[in-house]
A and B are shown apart, each in its own frame.
Chain A
Amino acid sequence: DVKVTQSSRYLVKRTGEKVFLECVQDMDHENMFWYRQDPGLGLRLIYFSYDVKMKEKGDIPEGYSVSREKKERFSLILESASTNQTSMYLCASSTGTVAEAFFGQGTRLTVV
């Protein structure tokens, strides 16, 4: 079974803090994604990566950055957390051949 693991299930951070969300997949997938999920807004793509050190902006990249130094790990960085970044964050991975996206369990981030 494909496993996509996010480092934290729940996080509480203060406004202005630098926040790291980590995601690891164990199936050698080329593509990895970060989404945020808010009620009524669905899954909005923040960034994705199709290879090590490669990244592409999604629909809502402002206030976020990403890092992919190893194929299995994709990190989402909030440079200076703000209250409007309080949300559920979901990581996913896929291969170009199969294309199905597998999701992590999600990280509920609260910025106070």
Chain B
Amino acid sequence: GENVEQHPSTLSVQEGDSAVIKCTYSDSASNYFPWYKQELGKRPQLIIDIRSNVGEKKDQRIAVTLNKTAKHFSLHITETQPEDSAVYFCAATSYGQNFVFGPGTRLSVLP
């Protein structure tokens, strides 16, 4: 089955700096790679996703890149703000089934 690894487990950045979180997956059949943000006491919410036929996607300060050959995908947050502080999860799935998440990255944006 699918296995998703995620690094780093914790990340502290100064406000205004960039943050990068990296994930790897094992199942070459996976074709959808979402990123979720979970604030304390709340449910995970989708922030950006990428499909296997696309190499990069950007939405304002957030971007995701995918390298299918290496089975790597990454989340990039630019101009970080205190409200970006949360736990971020990457995931991989094939057509929405067997939705497997990475262990999460706790991002702290320091003022």
Contacts and interface: CB of A to CB of B under 8 A. Distances in A.
Interface of A: 30-31, 33, 35, 40-45, 48, 50, 56, 58-59, 90, 92, 94-101, 103-106
A99 B104 CA distance: 20
A30 B101 CA distance: 19
29 contacts: A31-B96, A35-B101, A40-B9, A40-B103, A41-B103, A42-B6, A42-B101, A43-B44, A44-B101, A45-B101, A56-B97, A56-B98, A58-B100, A59-B1, A92-B99, A94-B96, A95-B96, A98-B96, A99-B32, A99-B49, A99-B93, A99-B96, A100-B46, A100-B49, A101-B91, A103-B43, A103-B44, A105-B43, A106-B43
A92 B38 CA distance: 14
B84 to A, nearest CB: 19
Interface in B86-102: 89, 91, 93, 95-102
A41 B49 CA distance: 22
Interface of B: 1, 6, 9, 32, 34, 43-46, 49, 89, 91, 93, 95-104
Q: Is the interface of B mostly helix, strand, loop or mixed?
A: strand
Given A41-B103, A94-B93, A101-B34, 4 more contacts: A31-B96, A59-B100, A100-B34, A104-B43
B43 A42 contact: no
A90 B98 contact: no
Contacts of A48: 97-99
A15 B104 CA distance: 30
A96 B95 contact: yes
Most interface-central of A30, A31, A43 (chain B CB within 10 A): A43
